[in-house]
Every structure is written in structure tokens, then in C-alpha cells.
Amino acid sequence: MVKAKIREDLKKGLKERKELEVSVLRLLLAAIFNKEKEKRYKLAKSQQLKEAEMAKESELTDDEIVAVISSEIKKRREAIFEYEKGKRLDLAEKEKKEAEILKKYLPEQLSEEEIEKLVKEVINKIGAKELKDIGKVMKEVMPKVKGRAEGGLISQSIKKLLSKQE
């Protein structure tokens, strides 16, 4: 579903001659293809499947594609930081535009309030009291927010709430 939308937008971008969008979507499809290839390789090592079954089994689910998109956005964010540090604002701006294009394919992001509410529930559920419990809380929260919030935001929220308890 997500992959089909990306391909559709790529075709539309080609027709409308949107160079940056076409470039970003091609890179994204290449990243998805590489993940599928990796998955196929792992399947081939562990099971004896026919080629047709292997291709079908190695296709990424929408959740896996969202993870690839999140990874690509994270790469852009890291590049933006480095470019700004090196005073290359032109390149940082290009990376920001690329990240915006990629964000269109992520599910709706959770607000800080929603993240905080979810983190509070998990903290109460597992009885976390100290900052050293961050790992336990993250382990519970991350599957619930898959693709809808960044790990950094969740980590900040956990630290803020746990430091209040100490």
C-alpha cells in the first residue's frame, strides 16, 4: 500500500518534472528494495522456498516500509546537523526539503501530550521509579508508537517524567 503510493507519486513527479521529489523517491525505493533483498537473503539461508514464494515472502510490510522511511528521515536529520555545524546552510536546506518529502509517507505523528500520556501509563504499569529504568520503559513504549513518534522524543519524555519521581 505505502510502496504503491510511493511509486504512484514517483510517476506523477516525473510527469511534473519535480527533480528533488523524484530523486528522493528513487532513493527511498532503492532503500526499500535493499531491505527486501536483505530479507530474501535471510529467508534463503533459513528455509528452502521456491523462487516465487521467496519473492512474495520477502516483500516488506507497510510497518517495515515505515521503518525504512523513518531511518531515511533520521539520516537526513543527522546530515542537517552536520551541514549546519559546517556552515553549509544550502546543503542543510536541501536535506530539510528531502525530509519533508519523506514525512508525507509516515503515519500521523503523535503530539508531545499524547507521547507523555502513553509514557505515564507505561511507567505506572511497570512501576519504573528511577532513571535507570529508561530501557524498560522504552522497550514497552516503542512498539506502541511504531512510526508515529521518534525515539528521541520518547526518551526525552521518559527522562523528564522519571526525573520528577526521584
**What per-residue confidence (pLDDT) applies to 137?**
87
Which H helix or E strand runs over 33?
helix 19-46
What span, in angstroms and rounded, lies between the C-alpha atoms of 130 and 46? 41
| Structural domain boundaries in the chain | 2-103, 112-165
**What per-residue confidence (pLDDT) applies to 49?**
65
Query: Which residue, among 53, 58, 61, 56, has the nearest Cα to 41 in the 3D structure?
Result: 58
- Quote the cell numbers at residue 73: 528521515
**What per-residue confidence (pLDDT) applies to 78?**
94
**What per-residue confidence (pLDDT) applies to 166?**
59
What is the full per-residue pLDDT of the chain (166 aa) written as tens digits?
889 999 999 999 999 999 999 999 999 999 999 999 998 888 877 776 676 677 777 888 888 998 899 899 999 999 999 999 999 999 999 999 999 999 999 888 888 888 888 888 888 888 878 788 888 888 888 888 877 888 888 888 888 887 776 5
**What per-residue confidence (pLDDT) applies to 73?**
92
CA distances from 3 to 19, 40, 59, 138 (A): 20, 17, 10, 28
DSSP string, 69-102: HHHHHHHHHHHHHHHHHTT-HHHHHHHHHHHHHH
CATH hierarchy code of domain 112-165 = 1.10.10.410
**What per-residue confidence (pLDDT) applies to 108?**
86
What span, in angstroms and rounded, lies between the C-alpha atoms of 6 and 3? 5
CATH architecture for the domain at 2-103? Orthogonal Bundle (1.10)
**What per-residue confidence (pLDDT) applies to 165?**
67
Tell whether pTM > 0.75.
Answer: yes
